[in-house]
Structure 1
Amino acid sequence: MSTGVFRRILVPVASESDAHATATAVRPILNGDGGTGIFVYVVEKAGGAPDKASVEQQETYAQKLFDGVHTVLEGQGLSYETDVLYGTDIGEAIIEGAHAHQANGIAFTPRGGSRWLKLLTGDVTETLVSSSDLPVIVLPEADSASGTRSPR
């Protein structure tokens, strides 16, 4: 049983490179805390408009991301789970997913993107930091080779 702050921490991933970087960055938290990481991918639903890809394609893509997480955490003796979430607002789906999984925190590495893109599509980081009623940890991306934090 974990005695640290985060017994169950939700960890969203968005792409193959992000899954690898985020799993690497969150590994010390899981290792030092003895908690469980719940790695999730959000399938963004279009809310009445045609979706970007079929649900089956998105779920297959999610499995590729989870394979990357497994590669990083395999053999480390760490506890983790994976799940696919669905929603029209990614940030809100992550927060709702954290509650559904009884997580007591959310940890992620911020994704790149221009200010214009964030303005037009919404900023998941902003939603998580400003709307979550759970603690949110924004992790610097870890260097996959050494496991150390990369400067930004």
Structure 2
Amino acid sequence: MDQPAETPTRDLLAHVLVPVAHEADARVTARALEPYDPDRVTALHVVEKGEGVPDKTPVEQSEELAADAFAAVREVFPDADDHVAYGRNVAKSIFAAADEVDASAIAYRAREGGRLARFLSGDLTLKLVTQADRPVVALPQTDGGED
């Protein structure tokens, strides 16, 4: 089997960026990541802030959601860093944050949702796994049911 010209040597779980939507999501996602024992974790919350369109929630409320989500991640990873990104396009915001924190991978837990919800949201999971410039780890679903 031929090897690629340049084989990455960086440890996949050296610094994992973990996008989280809210406290319950953060808790379930952190628990799903825990068995893989990453070296470093940065929790990310994207505040959907629109260019010329109304925000989905007030920025202050979004920042409060982020703080609660970060606290939930720290229940599992006490030394986790946190990062808040602002943008209309969630996938692009995640990719930009991964660059900013120099993440080795993005660990993501797909959220439940029907076809219509995925269509309206632009299917974030699809964008993450097809457009990322670094590995994306799809974490397994758990029976926590805390979405």
C-alpha separation in 2, matches of 1:119 and 1:128: 15
CA contact (8 A) 2:42 2:82 kept: yes
Q: What does 1:67-78 align with in structure 2 at a 5 Å threshold?
A: 67-74=71-78
Unaligned residue ranges in structure 1 (runs of 5+): 145-149
Cα distance, 1:121 vs structure 2: 2.1
For 1:69, what is the secondary structure of its paired residue?
Answer: helix
For the pair 1:23 / 2:30, whether they are aligned, the reply is yes
Q: RMSD of the alignment, in Å?
A: 1.8
Contact 2:12 2:135 in 1 (8 A): no
* Matched AA of 1:117: A
Distance 1:47 1:63 in 2: 24
The answer to whether the aligner puts 1:60 opposite 2:64 as a matched pair is yes
Q: Does 1:7 align with 2:14?
A: yes
Taking the aligned partners of 1:60 and 1:5, their CA distance within structure 2 comes to 31
Contact 2:90 2:124 in 1 (8 A): yes
Three-state SS of the structure 2 residue aligned to 1:107 is strand
Is the 1:11–1:38 Cα contact (8 Å) retained in structure 2?
Answer: yes
Partner residue of 2:41 out of 30, 37, 45:
37
Q: Aligned to 2:80, what secondary structure does the other structure show?
A: strand
Residue-pair matches, total: 136
Report the alpha carbon displacement of residue 83 of structure 1 after superposing the two structures with TM: 1.3
In the alignment, the residues of structure 2 paired with residue 27 and residue 96 of structure 1 have an alpha-carbon distance, to the nearest angstrom, of: 24
Q: Is the Cα–Cα contact under 8 Å of residues 21 and 143 in structure 1 kept in the other structure? A: no
Amino acid at match of 1:87: G
TM-score by length of 1: 0.82
1:57-136 alignment, distance < 5 Å = 57-74=61-78, 79-136=79-136
Q: Note if contact 2:41-2:77 (Cα within 8 Å) is conserved in structure 1.
A: no
- Give the letter aligned to residue 6 of structure 1: L
Structure 2 letter corresponding to 1:54: P
- 2 CA distance for matches of 1:51 and 1:5? 35
Deviation at 1:143, TM superposition (A): 4.9
Shift >3 Å, 4+ stretches: none
- Structure 2 gaps of 5+ residues are 1-9
- Opposite residue 118 of structure 1, the aligned amino acid is R
Return closer, same or farther for 1:116/1:83 CA change in 2, 3 Å cut-off: same
